[in-house]
Structure 1
Amino acid sequence: MEFRKMNGLGNDFVVLDARPRALSISPEQARAIADRKTGIGCDQLIVIEPSTKADVRMRIWNNEGFEVESCGNASRCIADILFAEKRKTVATIDTLGGFLTCEKGGNGLVTVDMGVPRFGWQDIPLSEPFPDTRHIELQLGPIDAPLIHSPSVVNVGNPHCIFWVKDLDIVDLAKAGPMLEHHPLFPERANISLARIDAKDHITLKVWERGAGLTRACGTGACAALVAAARIKLTHRKATVTLPGGDLVVEWRQDDNHILMTGPIAYEFDGFLPAHLAV
């Protein structure tokens, strides 16, 4: 079976097209394809399926092998495939995390309408009630002098927990990320971010992605950070979010509360799955 390798700011994907014939992806198959030593190698496996309410349905498996709801960087990549196929500048994608509308921009950029953020504790979801999710009770380090604490939480198609820091290296996110991702507060696990506010229109971000680990870029993480920051007046409603892989521009639109994310995509190569990775 053919595949296409793509990335958004270094967040990379193996894309399979299941429109000609249906595919049944097991966790073992997803892990095998994503394995960087014995497979193709990627952060996420993306499968395009037919949809009755959008141009395509997009399904996403993290490299641990479990299916997740949303991926902002992958959405831009799939949108660019659709732009070329359909020779148009607007594409729609149906995901577990919601319905997305994507628009082709200049200079290889794609804008995705990520929908409306959700702030209710039960929508994120959290395992216990928090009346105000702008800050929740969670910390790492000594009780009387925690290294990070009082994160904001939000669901932007998937759950995110953002710690506000002045130093992005205050904790080793490669070590702290797995523990926080699996914290009992997060029944569906969570993406964990360290966010530094550089200006009212600029955030620098490091993300431990749920089921994928440290990533060069996380589109939903950038959206979550901007929305959470604007909600507590740390930034304007539009800002550049800098990740290790590059910049995304995120706007939390005032009139309808939709999140718009703009960034680049890149094609790496096409190929055929070897026999041991057959699906």
Structure 2
Amino acid sequence: MADFASYHVLGNDYLVVDRADFPRTADAARLVCDRRRGVGADGVLLPTWVDGVPAVRIFNADGSECGRSGNGLIILARHLREAGVVPSGHLTVRTATGPADVWIGDDLSVQVSLGPFRARDPQRLDVDATVVDVTTVDIGTPHCVAFGSPSAARRLGPLLVAYPGFEQRHNVEFVAVPGRDTLDAEVWERGAGYTPASGAGAAAAAVAARVRGLVDPVVSVRMPGGTVRVEVADEVRLTGRASATAVGQLAADLLADLGVARHA
């Protein structure tokens, strides 16, 4: 049995580590996600089963724990389906922020419910001598959605992540609205930096645009890595597809660095 599998959703990549003895720590997550000293990824998913229900802990590449990840849940669903432990159709996954409903299509597309959301009134923030029009959104993880040129994400994203008052640190999305059914977005994640795509980021962008009355309930969110579909009603749902890239064993040297004994 492989120790891990690697997947991505539109370039946002995660490792799914199936070893029960893998440390559930920030240091272990940072090491295995390191693209030089470890395997390399934007984050790591550590699945388990609780009372017959799949559960997952999610760590970002910087070692911080993520309560719920849209792309992470899409990847986990694909992984469990590929392993033959769940069928197509509905399942519930336990996360740090509560249960998440997931639907796996026969074509391996995955729809994830990110649950109800909270959006605050628009604010104007002064960041690096630039006034930014934002809406903050909570969908299990905190997001700051800024309306303006998506290309500003690389420059202003890292400054907004830890803006005064954002005690939890926020994921940041810079969004343009070319039409009522389309958004363009670029994302700076609090735990991974600039990413070509983010499922939760796309969902937060759609929520912020919807509560402002700028888009219809169903919207395509275009990011540098590709496009996902988001539905905003009483809850927010994300639809995407994960691609597998590798399966493998963690080498003895890496296991030693992790403080894990090699399998006999």
Shorter-chain TM-score above 0.5: yes
One-letter code aligned to 1:49: T
Partner of 1:102, secondary structure, is: strand
Give the one of 109, 117, 122 matched to 1:135: 122
Letter in 2 for 1:8: V
Question: Matches of 1:76 and 1:206 in 2, distance apart?
Answer: 20
RMSD: 1.7
Provide, for residues 204-223 of structure 1, a one-character-per-residue CA deviation record: whole Å limited to 9, x for no partner.
11000011000111111111
TM-score calculated relative to the size of structure 1: 0.85
Moved over 3 A (4+): none
Q: Pick one of 141, 150, 153 that aligns with 1:168.
A: 150
Residues of 2 paired with 1:159 and 1:218: CA distance? Answer: 13
The CA deviation at 1:140 is: 2.1
- Give 3-state SS (helix, strand or coil) of 2:123's partner: coil
Q: Which amino acid aligns with 1:17?
A: D
- Separation (CA, whole Å) in 2 of partners of 1:262 and 1:115: 14
Classify 1:87/1:108 alpha carbon distance in 2 versus 1 (closer, same or farther; 3 Å): closer
Aligned to 1:43: 42
Match of 2:237 among 251, 255, 260: 260
1:115 counterpart = 2:115: yes
CA distance in 1 between counterparts of 2:155 and 2:8 reads: 25
Q: 1:10 to 1:261 in 2, by over 3 A?
A: same
Q: Any idea what SS the aligned residue of 1:40 has?
A: coil
Q: How does 1:1-279 map to 2 (within 5 A)?
A: 2-18=3-19, 21=20, 23-52=22-51, 55-83=53-81, 84-119=84-119, 133-142=120-129, 146=130, 148-165=131-148, 167-169=149-151, 171=152, 173-253=153-233, 257-278=234-255, 279=260
Is the contact between residue 135 and residue 152 of structure 1 (CA under 8 Å) also seen in structure 2?
A: yes
Identical-residue share of aligned pairs (%): 30
User: Which letter does structure 2 place at the counterpart of 1:265?
Assistant: A
Normalising to structure 2: TM-score of the pair?
0.90
How many residue pairs match? The answer is 253
Distance 2:80 2:29 in 1: 23
**Of 151-160 and 77-86, the range deviating more from structure 2:** 77-86
Shift of 1:196: 0.5
Structure 2 segments unaligned to the other structure (5+ residues): none
Query: CA, structure 1 residues 106+88, in 2 after alignment: closer, same or farther (shift >3 Å)?
Result: closer
CA contact (8 A) 2:88 2:105 kept: no
SS at match of 1:160: strand
Q: Secondary structure at the match of 1:29?
A: helix
Distance 2:168 2:197 in 1: 21
Q: Higher strand fraction: Structure 1 or Structure 2?
A: 2
